[in-house]
Amino acid sequence: MNKQTTDVEEILQKKGVKPTAVRMNVLNFLLDQEKAVSLKDIESVLSRMDRSSIFRTLKSFEEHKLIHSIDDGTGMTKYAVCAEGCNCELEDLHYHFYCISCEKTFCLMDHPISTIELPKNFKMIHANMVIKGLCDKCNK
């Protein structure tokens, strides 16, 4: 067992997710990404796994606050690993960036969504903030 496998196992256990081979593979892949990925992206890389077990794995990761899903307006849900200590609460929400050229979606973890003054008796539950533009590689 290499170092990375141990880490992935540890991360899963810490979040209360039973480390199965499928889960470890999916998490390993997600941790390697600099961008958010769709179910299709994962499927094309981990092609030996069937779609429904990858989907179930993503749902269980999401429930255990290991990853968060992103609606970047493309119609395809993207997933990204949460920062350490993330509880997927309002204060953990951050901006996302969608590059219109390479069509990659990034987490802007350093840019939390600030709370805004809402009308009386309105309650914020979630916010979906996506900035569209060109990423550093496409903006050359």
Which residues would be at the binding site for Zn ion (CB under 5 A)? 80, 99, 101-102, 107, 135, 138
Cβ atoms of 65 and 82 within 8 Å: the answer is: yes
- We find the least distance from the C-beta atom of residue 35 to Zn ion, in angstroms, to be 9
The residues, ordered by sequence, that sit 6+ positions from 111 with a Cβ below 8 Å of its Cβ are: 94, 95
Which residue's CB is nearer to Zn ion, number 19 or number 112?
112
- We find the least distance from the C-beta atom of residue 138 to Zn ion, in angstroms, to be 3
Count CB neighbours of 135 within 10 A. Answer: 19
Cβ atoms of 26 and 48 within 8 Å: the answer is: no
Which residue's CB is nearer to Zn ion, number 85 or number 119?
85
- We find the least distance from the C-beta atom of residue 54 to Zn ion, in angstroms, to be 19
